[in-house]
Amino acid sequence: MDLTGKGALVTGGGSGIGAAAVRRLAAAGARVAVADRDEAAASEVADEVGGLALAGDVADPERMPAHVAAAEETFGRLDVVLLNAGVTAGQSGVEELDLAGYRRIVGVNVDHVVFGLAAAVPALRRAGGGRVVATASLAGLVPMPGDALYTMTKHAVVGYVRAAAPVLAGDGIRVNAVCPGFADTPLIARAKPQFGEFPLLTAENVADAIEAVLERGEPGECWFVQPGRDPAPYGFRGVPGPAGAPRPPDVTWADH
C-alpha cells in the first residue's frame, strides 16, 4: 500500500484498532490526523508518526467537520478517512434503558459515522476521490444477544455504508466497512476475563483487514475479520421481491 503524499484522518486513533491503523497508514507514506476524545492519547500517537493530533467528542455535530477541515488544511488534501471511534453500551437496552448511555452509544457509533462521511465527501472530491472505511463489527452482520444496543448501532453502520457507497462511487469515493469479531482492545478490557481461551483478534489483525479493504475493496463491501481467517467481503443474501414484479426503481427521495 503506497499512500505517499496522501492525507488521512482516523477517529478513535489514540488506542486499539485506531492506533494500529494510524501506524499502518503512516508506514505507507500518508500524513495522518489522529482524532480521539482523549487528547493525551491522540497526541502520543500523532507524535509517534509525525501526524496531527485532534481532540474532541466525535458525537458532537460540529466536531467531524472541524476535524476534516483541520486535516485538509494541514495536509493540503484528504484522501483516506477511517471512521473508527466506537463505544459499548454497558447495558442490554432490552428490559431497562439508561437514556444517557443510549444517547452516548448512538452518538458515537452511528452519528459520528454519518457526520464524518458528510463532512469528508467535499474534501475527498477536491482530492479527486478517496477512501472511507467505517469500523462496524461482526455484530453488524449477526446479532449479539447480550448487547442489543451495540448490535443495533453496528447494523446501522453496515446499512448506511451499503446504501451510501453506490451514491458516491461515481465520484471516485469508495465507502466500505470492516466488521471485526472480538478484538483484544480497550473496548473489551473489563470483559476480557470472560473470554477464557476464546481466540481474540489483535488490533494489528484488524489493521491488516483495513489495509486489504483500502487496496481491494469494492464499493459498499463490508469485510468480516475473524481470527485465523483471511478477511473478505461478507456475502449478503438477497431479499425476495414481489412475485412476478420487475426490478424496483432506484429511488432518490430528494426528487420527491
**Which residues participate in catalysis according to the annotation?**
150
Q: What is the DSSP string of 28-39?
A: TT-EEEEEESSH
Q: Which parts of 17-68 are beta strand (E)?
A: 31-36, 52-55
Cβ contact 69:42 at 8 Å:
no
Q: What is the enclosing helix (H) or strand (E) of 203?
A: helix 203-216
Phi, psi of 153 (to 5 degrees): -65, -40
Burial classification of residue 56, based on how many CB atoms lie within 10 Å of its CB (0-12 exposed, 13-18 middle, 19 or more buried): middle
Find all residues with CB under 8 Å of 119, minimum gap 6, and list them: 64, 65, 67, 68, 69
Cβ contact 35:54 at 8 Å:
yes
